[in-house]
Structures are given as structure tokens and as C-alpha cells.
Amino acid sequence: MESNYDVLVVGGGPAGSTVSIFLGKMGHKVLLLDKAKFPRDKTCGDAISGKSRGVLRDLGITEIVESAPHSKVFGVGFSSPDGTYVDIPIPQNYGIDYGYCCKREVYDNLLFQHAKKFATVYEEHEVTDIIKEGEAVVGVKALDKKTNTEHVFKAKIVVGSDGATSIVSRKLGLGESNPDHLCAGVRAYYKGVTGLGKSIELHFVDSLVPGYFWIFPLENGLANVGSGILASDMKKKNMNLRDETLKIINEHPVFKERFKSAEIVGGWKGWNLPLGSTHKKAHGNGWVLLGDAASLIDPFSGEGIGNAMTSGKIGAAAIHKALEAKDYSEKFLSEYENNLWEVLGHEFKNSDRMQKTGKRKWLVNILLHKAKRSDWLRKQLSASLLDQKARKGFSDPLFYIRALLA
């Protein structure tokens, strides 16, 4: 089978569904392929930030998400290696005063089903290779898993939004990940964890910093629990991340109390987080990469859904222009990568600095001790949740002097 589309999108996670919806709405002929049958799970903390909410608003589907099972999040709790806990509210003066926790099985399915209104969608189609004509990518080969037959699909532009292990990226020779720019993560669902509030909790426990152990409250008393650590640190420590997380749950003085009556629901799952602390090439002749395939996860917080959706929105605008101009060249599509890094580049830089600062455990201890007592420092931390200027302050030595004196 051979078909011709304007745009062929590989992978229907937040990045792929977002780009498909925007492009379909603009009147382009879009084909979206995913190897999974939806609803499907995705290993994640399930925290949906204000940035994602902004794109959901642009897509016009806020109400659809809000009518599905989720919890609303009004703050971020941080604890230091020595156990000091500070709850920082999401600031109220930025127009986005809460986020969500929503199981990816639910959230991704809502986006994916909505994409079906604007694109031709084939589930259970696993892309196995890209097709090139000269230097240009012009299509893909995909295996229909239901019939075990191979199909060829062609398009003017191929979008790789197929996640952390992207086949599109690998076939383009861009698949290698540097363990200094890759985070390993594990997560499980628990019921019966005590002390859940309206904040997501990031605990910078000794063994994981600058990675952290998290507890994110979902609906009906369920919690998404997990840990993330830089892949290079995990290797150096020869750590089994699931065992380390269970050790935190069973032995840490605070968490063993909170998990005393808790029960795991399902099992543990692990997956990688490709970080935006490195600038990966994300466009070329006839192709662009979005989301995790383009290594766009925040190097400090681990947030990737908002950046994946943002890349889908920016990607759609650049692809629309290329289709209008009938120019699918690397040069023309460079607008996508330039605009993307214009928006996300400074965030990645700030977060990379925060990740490096976080390696100094003593500094994290002092900062959170001070934040407990200082209104000024709590306000700074609160602003930094949404404001890049405030976040940039964390790389200014004067900030630390002021914080130490606070």
C-alpha cells in the first residue's frame, strides 16, 4: 500500500497528537501512525504543568481534560537531603494558577482521540524504517501489527514524535544519548499513602540528588510515586533505581511512616527521559523531530509533556509555512528549530544550572532551611515555578548571598 499525505506523524503521544490537531485544523492532509492501541499507558509522573494547560487552551480541549479523572495541583513541595520540607504555592499572578495530575493512560487518550477528528489515524502501526530520496526523507515503512503486513506511507514532511527511543531519530543517525543528558526514571501507583495534599512533592533524598523521589497526588487518594536520577550518576553508583526507590519507601524515616499502610496498585515501570541540557538537531530535509524524540525534557524538573506539546505547536506553524511555500528543505524547516530554541533554550539553560547547583547537597539543605523562615525566599521560589527571570536568579551569586542572609 502506498499513500501520499502532506504530513506523516510517527507517534501519537502529546507531541504527535498536538501537531496533528494543529495541522489538520489548518486544512492539511495528515496521517498519524502509532504502534500502540489506545488507550495505552506511558511511564510518567503524570504531572501536567501550566505550560501544557496553555497548549490545551489553544487546542480548545481544556473542558474535555477537566471532565476526565484528574486532580488539581496548586503547589510544589520540596524537601532537602536533610529532610526539611517547604511547600511552595503556584503564584497567582501569572494567569495559570494550577496544574493537573492525570494518568497518561487517560490524558494521552483524550488528545489522541481528538486528533482523529483532524487526521487519518492508524493504531497498531509500528514504523520500522524511514524512506529517503537522495538527502530528503519522503516516507516511512510501517508494520501493521494486526495483519503482520508491511506498508509504505509517503508524505511531503515526516514528523518524528515517537518518544525517547524514536525510530525516526535512530534511522537518521541521531539516536545516541549521552548519559549526562539522560535521566532514568521508575514509577508505580500507590493507594493509602498518608499526608497527600494539593501539591506535587519533589524530595531531594541523599542518594538521588540532583535527581529526586516524587509523590504526586492523583484523584481518589491514588498517588504516582517514583524516582529519577541522571543516567551517568546511576551508572557511577551502580544503582538499581527500583530497589533504591523501594529502600526510600521502606526505610527513610519520613516515608516509611507515610507508606506504612500503603499498597502498590499494579507494578513498577521504568523509562528514560532525554534532557534538553543538550541541543539535539531537530530538523532536516523533509523531516522534523518533536518532544522526547528531540530531547526536550526540562533538565531540572523532568517536565516533558508541556515541552512536547509546545514543540507540536511550534512545529505545526513552521510545517504549515513550508507546505504553503512548497519548500520542505532543511533550510526552510530550520525556522522550526530556531523558534523552538528561542522559546525553550533559556529555560533549559536555567534548569541545567539548577540541576548542577542541586548537586551541592549542603546548599539545597541551607536554601530550604532558609525558605522555611523567609517570605522573600519563598516568593522567589514560587515565582520561579512560572517565571524564567526568577529562575535565572538561581545562577546569580548575589541571589545566594541574599538567600543566606534571609
Ligand X SMILES: Cc1cc2nc3c(=O)[nH]c(=O)nc-3n(C[C@H](O)[C@H](O)[C@H](O)COP(=O)(O)OP(=O)(O)OC[C@H]3O[C@@H](n4cnc5c(N)ncnc54)[C@H](O)[C@@H]3O)c2cc1C
Report the interface residues with ligand X, using CB under 6 A: 10-16, 33-36, 42-47, 49, 126-127, 161-163, 167, 185, 187, 226, 271, 273, 291-293, 297, 302-306, 308
Which amino acid type is present at position 151? H
Q: At its nearest, how many Å lie between ligand X and the CB of residue 200?
A: 8
Q: At its nearest, how many Å lie between ligand X and the CB of residue 232?
A: 16
The residues with which 86 forms a beta bridge, in sequence order, are 78
Q: At its nearest, how many Å lie between ligand X and the CB of residue 186?
A: 6
Closer residue to ligand X, CB minimum distance, 105 or 126? 126
Q: Is residue 330 a contact partner of residue 364, using CB atoms and an 8 Å limit? A: no
User: Would you list the DSSP string of 248-316?
Assistant: HHHHSHHHHHHTTT-EEEEEEEEEEEEBTTS----EETTEEE-GGGG--B-TTT---HHHHHHHHHHHH
Q: Which three cell numbers stand for residue 181?
A: 543528558
Strand 199-203 with 75-79, pairing: parallel
Q: At its nearest, how many Å lie between ligand X and the CB of residue 340?
A: 13
Q: At its nearest, how many Å lie between ligand X and the CB of residue 104?
A: 7
Q: At its nearest, how many Å lie between ligand X and the CB of residue 126?
A: 5
**Of the candidates 111, 88, 90, which has an alpha carbon nearest to the alpha carbon of residue 42?**
111
Q: Is residue 156 a contact partner of residue 286, using CB atoms and an 8 Å limit? A: yes
Closer residue to ligand X, CB minimum distance, 249 or 403? 249
Q: At its nearest, how many Å lie between ligand X and the CB of residue 216?
A: 6
Closer residue to ligand X, CB minimum distance, 169 or 382? 169
CA–CA distance, 297 with 271 (Å, rounded to integer): 13
Closer residue to ligand X, CB minimum distance, 82 or 219? 219
Closer residue to ligand X, CB minimum distance, 112 or 377? 112
Closer residue to ligand X, CB minimum distance, 11 or 286? 11
Residue 74 CB partners (closer than 8 Å, separation 6+): 89, 90, 97, 98, 198, 199
Closer residue to ligand X, CB minimum distance, 78 or 403? 78
Which residue of the chain is nearest ligand X when measured via CB? 304
Burial letters 296-330, b for 16+ CB under 10 A, else e: bbbbbbbbbbbbbbbbbbbbbebbbebbeeeebee
